[in-house]
Amino acid sequence: MIFALFRLPWYGSPAWNFAREIVLGYNALVFFYVIFVDLTYLAFTFIALIEVRRYLRTRDKERLEQIFRSRLVPPISILCPAYNEGATIVDSVRSLLRLKYSQHEVVVVNDGSKDNTLASLIEAFRMEKLEFEYETTVPSKPVRALYASPGYPKLIVVDKENGGKADALNAGINASRYPLFCTVDADAILEEDALLHVVRPMLDRPTFVPITGGIIRAANGCRVVKGRVEAVGLPRKPIELFQIVEYMRAFLCGRTAQSALNVMLIVSGAFGLFHKATAKTVGGYSSDTVGEDKELVVKIVRYLKENKREYEILFVPQTVCWTEVPASWQTLGRQRNRWHRGMFEVLYKHRAMFFNRAYGRAGIIGMPYFLLIEALGPLVELSGYILLPLAALLGLLAPINAIVYTLCAVVLGIILSVSAVLLEEASFHRYPRWRELALLNLIAVVENFGYRQLTLWWRLRGTWDYLRGNKQWGAQVRQGFGTPVVAPAAKTG
């Protein structure tokens, strides 16, 4: 090999040749894997394009509003867990109370905050402690008190001891009155008509729809006044810009297509609408995982399949909420690490579903997809990034070959990112200025040189942390919501 930098003494020996075959074979495998993954996403984008266009053609905003003023649509309880949100909680609650819907209530769960969350709510809405009789059907930490306001009959505040997000949501489920509940992060900014759009599939489909979700976008760079996005814009920092394109890929392309194929297994914790009775039957949220939102969805799917019930989990290609994404590399890294750990926990806990005919598409396509493409992706791809140069360096592969491999993968990645921007442009065009379009495209190109690899690295770290945590201690330090809580080891899957 003329390009080889080293000429090692054992070069050309049979063992060497064997090793060479192995490494080259692995490299080819990684290459095909990456191409396969990208083509899958590309197919998703294509399906999503068709779906979104179809959705937009039949959308009719005015009528929707009119219809949903009808008392015949099911009322919704909005569950909003809050931990140390004193600065923003009052504005958030005000905007939640203002949502367009015929009948809804807002249940704020104060998860043992250490700041003035509860006090500011009591003051702003003139809330009073209330004796309130309700049934406890899903487990949660003790509730200290319930508050209601004479001036705001739609609002209930549950004050409970700290127990993490899942626990807070369970307390909210207990205290809520209505047959559907919608989970909302305290810092998420909802679109006014979010409930109208996401509830529609629950009524519109002949099959049972236990869960629906919608598009979540990054709020960074938008002008937000009093819990409402007034003007859409782009942030300055690259880290935030990258995430905007990333969210487009994930929600606009990924979720829309997964929903069309009925293999959806993820509904974001920041916004999701659930059928309460079903969620209660499966025992509500589990406190022993950092991926409680994903876990509940899988649990419900599993329960429905085990009871031979037909269902659809649907994603509405309609922006429902905006969320502030991390603006520092450290926070972002931690977030991705946590998400990835959560995914592994869910996959492990429900491993019985893999390739199990009894679980239908979720078992045959959904779960394997999450394991092979989402969960193991970082491991395979990053190993390729290391092995390919190494192979070239050791003279196993012509460097030009290595470069072309990499370029193919990268250009395909760029096409993928650009298609996501294209999908946005062909459907919602929320970013009206030319400069913004150019910037989004630039970001779509640039994110393939560094940012994507970095997220892969964080997710790999997540994989590692999961494996370590599970085997050695059987318990993990949760960073998800509020203060770290050590989950009891006994409960882990």
Partner 1 sequence: MVPSLLSLEHVLEGLEIALFVLLLGMFAMRSLRVRRAEIAARARDWMVEKMLPLFDGDAEQRCEGRKVFINDQLVVELPPPRGLWGDAIREVFADHLVFITGDLRNRFVNVLEEAGYISAVMRGLKSRNVETRIKTCMLLGAMHSRLAVPALIEVFGDDPDPFVRIGAAEALGAIGSEVAVAPLLAALRNPTRWQQVRVAEVLSHMGMTAVSALTEAVEDPDIRIAALALDILADIGWMSDFAPAERALKHESPEVRARAAAALGRGGAMNSITALFAAATDAAWFVRVRVMKALHALGAPAHLGLNERYFAVLDAGLHDDVWWVRRHAAEALADNGEPGRAVLGRAMIERVGSAARRAAVSALQRHVLLSASRLAGAAISSPA
Partner 2 sequence: MPDKPRAKPRVVVADDDNDIRRLVQITVANAGCDVTSAPDGESALQAVREVMPDLVILDVLMPRMDGWEVAKELKRDPKTAGIPIMFLTSKGQENDVLEGFEVGGADYVVKPFSPRELQARVRSVLAKR
Positions touching partner 1 (CB under 8 A) are 24-25, 27-28, 54, 57-58, 60, 62-63, 66-67, 70-73, 128, 130-135, 148, 150-151, 153, 200, 203-206, 398, 400-401, 404-405, 407-408, 411-412, 414-415, 418-419, 421-422, 425-426, 429, 434, 437, 441
Residue 255 token pair: 């979720």
Alpha carbon distance 320, 54 (integer Å): 18
Alpha helices in 59-163 (DSSP H): 61-67, 89-97, 117-124
Alpha helices in 10-142 (DSSP H): 14-58, 61-67, 89-97, 117-124
- Please, which residue, 58 or 307, has the CB nearer to partner 1? 58
Binding mask of the shown chain, residues 59 to 98, with x at each position contacting partner 2 by CB under 8 A? ------xx--xxx--------------------------x
Residue 407 phi/psi, 5-degree rounding, is -60, -45
Q: Is 486 exposed, middle or buried (0-12, 13-18, 19+ CB in 10 A)?
A: exposed
Alpha carbon distance 106, 80 (integer Å): 7
- Please, which residue, 63 or 471, has the CB nearer to partner 2? 63
- Please, which residue, 380 or 437, has the CB nearer to partner 1? 437
Q: Cα dihedral sign for 368, 374, 379, 385?
A: positive
Q: Cα dihedral sign for 352, 357, 358, 362?
A: positive
Establish if 231 lies at the interface with partner 2 (CB under 8 A). no
Place of tokens 């394997």: 368
Q: Which residues, listed in sequence order, are joined to residue 104 by a DSSP beta bridge? A: 76
Establish if 230 lies at the interface with partner 2 (CB under 8 A). yes
- Please, which residue, 95 or 243, has the CB nearer to partner 2? 95
The residue count for binding partner 2 (CB under 8 A) is 14
Which residues, 136 to 165, sit near partner 2 by CB under 8 A?
151
Q: Which residues, listed in sequence order, are joined to residue 129 by a DSSP beta bridge? A: 147
Q: Is the separation of the CB atoms in 337 and 462 below 8 Å?
A: yes
Which residues, 169 to 208, sit near partner 2 by CB under 8 A?
192
Establish if 54 lies at the interface with partner 2 (CB under 8 A). no
Least Å from the CB of residue 130 to partner 2: 20
Q: Which residues, listed in sequence order, are joined to residue 316 by a DSSP beta bridge? A: 214
The item of partner 2, partner 1, none sharing an interface with residue 419, based on CB under 5 to 8 Å by kind, is partner 1
- Please, which residue, 6 or 434, has the CB nearer to partner 1? 434
Least Å from the CB of residue 180 to partner 2: 19
Which residues, 93 to 112, sit near partner 2 by CB under 8 A?
98, 100, 102
Report the interface residues with partner 2, using CB under 8 A.
65-66, 69-71, 98, 100, 102, 151, 192, 225-226, 228, 230
